[in-house]
Chains A and B, each alone.
Chain A
């Protein structure tokens, strides 16, 4: 396959969001290293490998096998795939030091918003996806980029990458949640209480029930 053909295939798959059809090199996010394997004088294959030690290649979906295998892509609708890739790009950009602090902060906030949309829109997400996503949503609620060290951001990159998979295994869930807990990022939602704010809660629920009633007639 020619370089153009390869680029086209990858662009169609939605994975290389910055791919161009005519470029000789497939562009990847700036925080990656690009290794070009020259297989033959006329072809080359670009692989993406992370710079940072904690993002071990074995943990990432972004492997040669995944790029070339269409089976995994069939499981996710194209729009969902694009959405997930955008979310991944946003969180990746938070560690891009060539961007201004404002840009990186905006990327983080946009990524957080995308997590909520993800929880609502991704119909193919199963319990394993939801465990990771739910844990990250709780951990980042009401927080901004300045609340997290770079290692935490890298962890969020890894977790978002795993969410791009059509299927997430139990060991992957276990690894992500363990990292979350070990880094003391995991935050429980405060749901206990007998009496605090009861009137306000009752009023809120009454309004929602009224909305639901109007919607269903």
Chain B
């Protein structure tokens, strides 16, 4: 059990980066760290970001009756992320003709359907083991489609739709959580991030009453759960320095930083 090297969520996405220097560096992490593992929370995070991004793109393209309309709908989502993803898809296809649009749309949707139907298992198969000792219900829910549209929404966790044992999982780390709370209480406020504040609150709640699992708590404190999972292995490899540099000592796991800035093409 102790041999596994945990790989954090961000590296799964870095491996799919358009920047070949970064994707190659991320790929190397997967190659060189066998036996490798991921936390079930990482699967949930991937569903909530990368996979949701693909589904959003799929829907906007599907709903558009011209290339210009598709671009406008995608741009209206906000930020540059989605229109750059759209542009990258078109560039990847290469020699892509936008006319007639019905054909172009079919080609784009074909590529996205192919991705959406394989990406979940691709992520799972990227590592030797998925750690899911508390049996996260949300992480078992595979992205699905109805033949036309994909569904990506991750429901809020409530009694009737959740069967996990996250409360017991957190209770089993009572000592570690106490050490963590002590550490975060004395941390320079400039080093506290929004997630670290949420983690401190969730850890305190878990000590005093029970982990406030209902709603989206687990996703909001994913680094805490991923960190605790990583205790079962050798180390956690992550580009997320701000949180894990503060979590790993009190929680008791090794943290290896993957420096994205250094790896990117200059």
Which A residues are within 8 Å of any B CB, using their own CB? 116, 119-123, 125-128, 130-138, 141, 173, 177-178, 180-181, 186, 188-198, 200-202, 204-205, 208-209, 211-213, 215-216
Task: Give the complex CA separation of A119 and B148 in angstroms.
Answer: 15
- Docked-complex contact B115 and A128, CB < 8 angstroms: no
Using known A-B contacts A120-B106, A192-B13, A216-B66, determine if residue A133 contacts B83 with beta carbons closer than 8 Å: no
- Docked-complex contact A209 and B71, CB < 8 angstroms: yes
- Docked-complex contact A173 and B147, CB < 8 angstroms: no
Closest residue of chain A to B260 (Cβ to Cβ) is: A194
Using known A-B contacts A135-B114, A205-B83, determine if residue A186 contacts B122 with beta carbons closer than 8 Å: yes
Q: Separation in Å of the B234 CB from the closest CB of chain A? A: 25
- Docked-complex contact A196 and B17, CB < 8 angstroms: yes
- Residues of chain B at interface, number, CB under 8 A: 53
Q: For B116, what are the chain A residues with a Cβ–Cβ distance below 8 Å?
A: 131
- Total of A-B residue pairs, C-beta within 8 Å: 150
Q: Separation in Å of the A136 CB from the closest CB of chain B? A: 7
A-B contact pairs, 18 of them (CB 8 A): A120-B106, A127-B145, A134-B111, A138-B114, A138-B115, A138-B118, A186-B118, A186-B122, A189-B16, A189-B89, A190-B18, A190-B88, A191-B89, A192-B17, A193-B17, A200-B91, A205-B83, A212-B68
- Docked-complex contact B67 and A133, CB < 8 angstroms: no
- Docked-complex contact B115 and A189, CB < 8 angstroms: yes
Considering residues B117, B147, B148, which has the most beta carbons from chain A within 10 angstroms of its beta carbon? B117
- Docked-complex contact B18 and A196, CB < 8 angstroms: yes
Which B residues are within 8 Å of any A CB, using their own CB? 13-14, 16-19, 22-23, 50, 53-54, 66-68, 71, 80-81, 83-92, 98-99, 103-104, 106-107, 109-119, 121-122, 125, 145-148, 264-265
Identify which of B50, B98, B148, B265 contacts A127 (C-beta below 8 A).
B148
Q: For A120, what are the chain B residues with a Cβ–Cβ distance below 8 Å?
A: 103-104, 106-107
Considering residues B19, B22, B113, which has the most beta carbons from chain A within 10 angstroms of its beta carbon? B113
Task: Give the complex CA separation of A189 and B83 in angstroms.
Answer: 16
Task: Give the complex CA separation of A119 and B109 in angstroms.
Answer: 9
